[in-house]
Amino acid sequence: MDEKSLDSLSSEELTRIHHELLAAVERAKLAYERTKIESAKLKEIRKDLGSGHPDGIAATLKALRMESAANQRYADAIIKLSRFAIKRRVPSETR
């Protein structure tokens, strides 16, 4: 990730970036929460079919992949916000 120092940005630009990063965290959080609900439905399929049933196994694997991907996107958004707030670095995609 190409990052830029905060020192060269105006206060308006810093505010805009801060709001963008907060919004990205909120979007990732909502997506993660939706994914958890969908994942629970898939796990219910596994429960109904039994853990040894191929469709139950497939549902479990899909649920785990979905949760993992959503969790990673949420973590990435939090990391970008933290780098901005603590390390005073701006992610390249916010410029």
- Measured on CA atoms in the order 47, 50, 52, 57, is the torsion positive or negative? negative
Average pLDDT of the segment spanning 28-50 = 90
Tens of pLDDT, residues 44-90: 888 888 778 888 888 888 889 999 999 999 999 999 999 998 987 88
Distance CA 31, CA 67 (A): 10
Distance CA 49, CA 20 (A): 43
**If we measure between CA atoms, which residue out of 54, 52, 74 comes closest to residue 62?**
54
Please say if the pLDDT value at position 2 is more than 50. Answer: no
Distance CA 37, CA 49 (A): 19
Domain boundaries, the chain: 35-86
